[in-house]
Structure formats: C-alpha cells, structure tokens
Amino acid sequence: MSGADPRPAADADAWRRQRTEAAEHQQRELDRRRAAESATARDLLADFVATARARGIAPEPLRARAFTGGATYRTSVEGWYLRRNRSVAVGTDGEFYVLGVPASISARLRGARLVPSDPPLVLGKGGRDGESVDLAEALARVLDRS
C-alpha cells in the first residue's frame, strides 16, 4: 500500500485545467467585444471623415507629444484632434491615432512616426473621472467647432 491518495493531484490538475479554460474563454470574449467595439468606432470615424470633407473642414498636420510631456514632434499625418489636450486624433485616412510617443532625438530631427490604433468607443475610458468622452461626442464637437 502506497499510502498516497492520487485523487488530490488529479483534482488539482482538473481544477487547473478548468481555470485555464475559463480564463481562455474570458479572453476570447474580451477580444470579441473589443473587435466589435473597434468595428463600430471605425464606422464612426469613416462617417466623420466624409462629413468633415463635405463641410470643407480642413485637417491640420498632427503633432505627437513625448510621453515625458515636454517635447512635441511633427508627423507625416494630417487630421483632426479629438481632445482638447491633443492626445488623440483621426487622420484623413480614417485611422485613429494616439499621439503619445517615446522621446527621441531622431523624432526631433525627422518627425515622429505614428501607428494607427484600434479605436475605442469611449476616449479615456478607465481614466480619471470626467476625462472620458464618447467617441461620437468628440467627433460631433469637432464638426460643431467648424
């Protein structure tokens, strides 16, 4: 008689597998929701760009800001800022840009390279109170200002 009961190890393995499967399921659902949110946001951005062009609202050259806060850098992207602090924008290409970049001497000399991001339906979600705004509202503000 070995004296060791194999069930606790088997139970622990089953519990780990169950938790792993549950975590993977949650991640798939989160990814699915994010993809659906981004698809809806992309439609809003495309409609905005078309409306802005139809109304003759001129885009402007976008500037990126160093994460450290001080320096700003020119970019090759034109578009419209969506927040007063100029932290996010929509480009004339209909893409969503977060305008924070690492501080860099080469960005100072050559300009910062912007990479499009998946657009959210709420800008600043999870930030401090009062700093989040619906994407649709931010886009409407830009159209109303012009």
Pick from 77, 120, 133: which is nearest to 101 by CA? 77
- Going by pLDDT thresholds of 50, 70 and 90, the confidence category of residue 129 is low
| Separation of alpha carbons 107 and 64, rounded Å | 10
- Going by pLDDT thresholds of 50, 70 and 90, the confidence category of residue 11 is confident
Say yes or no to pLDDT of 130 above 90: no
Mean pLDDT in residue range 101-114: 90
Range with the lowest mean pLDDT among 75-84, 106-115, 127-136? 127-136
Range 90-94, long-range pairs (CB < 8 A, 24+ positions)? 90/45, 90/48, 90/49, 90/139, 91/59, 91/62, 91/116, 92/49, 92/59, 94/42, 94/45, 94/46, 94/49
Domain assignments of the chain as residue spans, ordered by start? 7-145
Q: Quick check: pTM over 0.75?
A: yes
Round the CA-based radius of gyration of the chain to a whole number and report it.
23
Q: Which residues are CB-contacts of 60 (< 8 A; sequence separation ≥ 6)?
A: 78, 79, 80, 81
| Separation of alpha carbons 82 and 85, rounded Å | 9
Range with the lowest mean pLDDT among 17-26, 42-51, 54-63? 17-26
Quote the distance between the C-alpha of residue 121 and its chain's center: 9
| Separation of alpha carbons 132 and 87, rounded Å | 12
Say yes or no to pLDDT of 126 above 80: no
DSSP track, 100-113: EE---HHHHHH-PP
Say yes or no to pLDDT of 118 above 90: yes
Say yes or no to pLDDT of 5 above 70: no
